[in-house]
Structure 1
Amino acid sequence: MSVSPLVWGLTIVLILGLLAFDYFFHIRKAHVPSLREAAIWSSIYVGAAVVFGVAVLVFGGADMGGEYFAGFITEKALSVDNLFVFLVIMASFRVPREDQQKVLLFGIVFALIARTAFIFLGVALINSFSWIFYVFGIILLITAGNLLKPEDSGDDEADNFIIRLARKYLRTSEHYDGDKLFTVENGKKVLTPMLLVMVAIGGTDLLFALDSIPAIFGLTQNPYIVFTATAFSLMGLRQLYFLLDGLLDRLIYLSFGLAAILAFIGAKLILHALHENTLPFINGGEHVPVFEITTGLSLTVIIGVLLVTIFASLFSKAGKAHAAVNNARRHAESYLDLEYTADPAERERVYQELMDEEAAILAMDKKYRDKVKDIEEIREKVAEAHARHAEFTAR
């Protein structure tokens, strides 16, 4: 079903309006959003995406509506996985907690721009070369395989090629100046680390787009559905970051679930490519009669895999121990970092969360908490945070 330019225009205005509202009413004044604020606004954005999907279902039909929801759920799941990397980048650059919202909004806007460019490039390639489905399918199968590889330590994940170039050629200060991109140091105007953080987020977004766009093209080739499902999956990602902070480590099986989904969509793309085949060295350039996966089956598989993954993670004793220990490490590092926040109440909140996590860890089975990677190093970091807090209260 084709979409009129008027509908395209109204949709773009709606999305830009949501982004502007997010900036002027929530981010312009730096603050740490409460759990209640994050939960309310995350629910509002998910609700808006669902309402939009219902409108697509009513005006576009069952197939179009099904494609939208399948695309939205897949992209949302991939976006949650992206939050892990955002978390690493924030920690690597020691971004003050109250300024993280602006960085995340920049990441969302940049991701939307990058994905839009990839969407129209993908549409052009699909219209010109039907064999591009083979390429998309192989990309997703490779990505699924990479997700199953053992994870390396995340310490260097933010130190990518783009960041190394930025550090080499851009003169930056050692310290933040609020959320400013420029500051004055020794009488000279220099860049702050905030710009490097945004470069890191932007570079990461480009890499994410290489995976997410082929994934959604495996579910629908309608550019309007691809664009809106992608855009609404990014809306509310900032609130979700703060809402899931502390729970992200709990989803220890998420990478397996995403690998299964991407492999499924990759296989679907290759089957579709065989059905539309024009390559002369495959079946003499003729279409191959193969089973084609329907939108309904795709939606069922995606939802089913995600539900199994989430419940397995949440009810796993190993997952609980992994989450609690890594949260304790993160709280300890945040407390020890004097640049983490200028708000004494926020530092006290972090220390209290550290205490709560420790109490939860001690109540767990020792065999699970001792299996967490770098457990001894984490224990040393927590002990150092306690010592620093004791010094502070003794003054």
Structure 2
Amino acid sequence: MEIAPWVWGVTIAVLLGVILIDFIIIARRPHEPSMREAAIWISVYVSLAIVFGIGLAFTTEGQAVDFFTGWIVEYSMSMDNLFVFILILGSFAVPREHRQRVLLVGIALALVFRGLFIAVGAAAVNAFAGVFYLFGAFLLYTAWKLVAGGGDDEEEYKENAAVRMVRRVLPTTDTYHDAKLVTRIDGKRVVTPMLLVMIAVGLTDILFALDSIPAIFGITQEPYLVFTANAFALMGLRQLYFLIGGLLDKLVYLSHGLAVILGFIGVKLILHAVHETTDLHVPEIPTTVSLVVIVLTLAVTAVASLVKSRRDAAAAPAASAGAESGEPAQPVSDGGDDDRGERVSV
């Protein structure tokens, strides 16, 4: 797939334009969006992604399926990002009216760094097909961590090294001053928590890219499709935070579903590497099969999670009534209420 430089230029310009418009809207009226507002914006971004994919279907051969598969993978993995975003914004006690600004800055930084990761990954793939062994093994290891790692609802966000370094090097204050990143207190210039939380969100999403970039290279090796799939998945992430933040607690099997997807793509990458680097005749998994497996996995994960959450909610009053009457309370959960894996601490 040959992408003309002007196509790259237009794509990047449009993305920058969307981010700039978002910044202007948020700067003029800082607020926490309503469910309706968030739903409208997500519908817009999803519609744009669908229109883009349809355009690929008419202008390329088979690239639309690759784009949609990669986009769904990135979007589903972005859901896991939201768990950590909720912890970070809560840990820093970010005022609700300023959370949009924090998320938008973090997403903008993530787009920049993911672009760099994609360029490096594409160069590595072109130089040595054996890099798919590394990508595949990494995804299998990540899948194992998601299944084996225990989660805890009470687990708190732990500041990453970059945030701790800023606190040590620069004078900081624990008080917010509207949306200012830097302010003056007693004549001294100090860093506000707004800058620290922006750094935390941006770097956290970069760490998540270590999973998502190898995963999407298992779908397609075309840098343009990898970049646009990431961009469309990230652009709606801010509104998704406000729309389904409460629903995330009910998706108790999300990490298990992501583990299945990552494990599947890891196997696909290793099979591709064997095919490219040896004379062995091994089957390769078509992208259409990948799309079906990913969609079915997400559907089963969502249904199973909601069913379990409903059963737990129904069992809670009975357990409470048993405790009040002096009878032994029946267990409400099997210990799987929060299967987020170990990616909370960064």
TM-score by length of 2: 0.89
Say if 1:297 and 1:34 are closer, same or farther in 2 by CA, change over 3 A. same
Q: Which residue of 2 aligns with 1:239?
A: 239
Q: What is the Cα deviation at residue 300 of structure 1? A: 0.4
**Corresponding position of 1:91:** 90
1:292 and 2:291 matched: no
Q: What is the distance in 2 between the residues matched to 1:120 and 1:319?
A: 46
What residue in structure 2 maps to residue 253 of structure 1? 253
Residue identity opposite 1:151 in structure 2: G
In the alignment, structure 2 segments of 5+ residues that lack a partner are 321-328, 338-346
Give, as a single letter, the amino acid of the residue that structure 2 aligns with 1:122: G
The Cα shift of 1:371 comes to 4.2
Shift of 1:183: 1.3
Change in 2 beyond 3 A, CA 1:188/1:320: farther
Alignment-mate amino acid for residue 23 of structure 1: F
1:122 and 2:121 aligned: yes
Does the 8 Å contact 1:88/1:154 carry over to 2? no
Distance 1:320 1:3, change over 3 A: farther
TM-score w.r.t. the length of structure 1 is 0.79
In the alignment, residue 12 of structure 2 is paired with which amino acid? I
Letter in 2 for 1:94: A
Q: Which residue of 1 aligns with 2:308?
A: 316
Contact 1:276 1:288 in 2 (8 A): no
Question: What's the offset of the Cα at 1:363?
Answer: 5.4
Structure 1's consecutive aligned runs of 4 or more residues displaced over 4 angstroms after TM superposition are 360-373
CA distance in 2, matches of 1:27, 1:103: 12
Q: How big is each residue's C-alpha offset from its partner over 1:356-391, in whole Å with a ceiling of 9 and x where there is no partner?
A: xxxx99757656885498x9xxxxxxxxxxxxxxxx
Shift of the alpha carbon at 1:184?
1.5
Amino acid at match of 1:172: T
Query: CA, structure 1 residues 18+361, in 2 after alignment: closer, same or farther (shift >3 Å)?
Result: farther
| Residue 23 of structure 1, CA deviation | 1.6
Match for residue 304 of structure 1?
Answer: 296
Q: Does the CA contact (< 8 Å) of 2:105 and 2:198 recur in 1?
A: yes
The aligned amino acid for 1:181 is L
Residue 143 of structure 1 contacts residue 262 of structure 1 at CA under 8 Å; is this kept in 2? yes
2:132 equivalent in structure 1: 133
Over 3 Å counting, the alpha-carbon distance change for 1:361 and 1:240 in structure 2 is farther
Instruction: Note if 1:216 corresponds to 2:208.
Output: no
SS at match of 1:189: strand
Give the Cα separation in 2 of the matches to 1:51 and 1:170.
46
1:96-175 matches, cutoff 5 A? 96-148=95-147, 149-152=149-152, 155-175=155-175
Contact 1:88 1:158 in 2 (8 A): no
Distance 1:49 1:158 in 2: 34
Aligned to 1:75: 74
Would you say the 8 A contact 2:53–2:68 is kept in 1?
A: yes
Match of 1:393 in 2: none
Report if the CA contact (8 A) 1:314-1:320 is conserved: no
User: 1:26: how far off?
Assistant: 3.8
SS in 2 for 1:199: helix
Q: Distance in 1 between matches of 2:154 and 2:216?
A: 27
Change (3 A) 1:143 1:362: closer
Distance of 1:200 and 1:146 partners within structure 2: 22
Distance 1:29 1:86, change over 3 A: same
- Give the superposition deviation at 1:7: 1.4
SS at structure 1 position matched to 2:11: helix
Instruction: Give the length in aligned residue pairs.
Output: 327
Larger radius of gyration: 1
Contact 2:312 2:332 in 1 (8 A): no
Secondary structure at 1:184's aligned position in 2? strand
The whole-number CA distance in structure 2 between the counterparts of 1:320 and 1:240 is 25
Larger mean CA deviation between 311-320 and 227-236 belongs to: 311-320
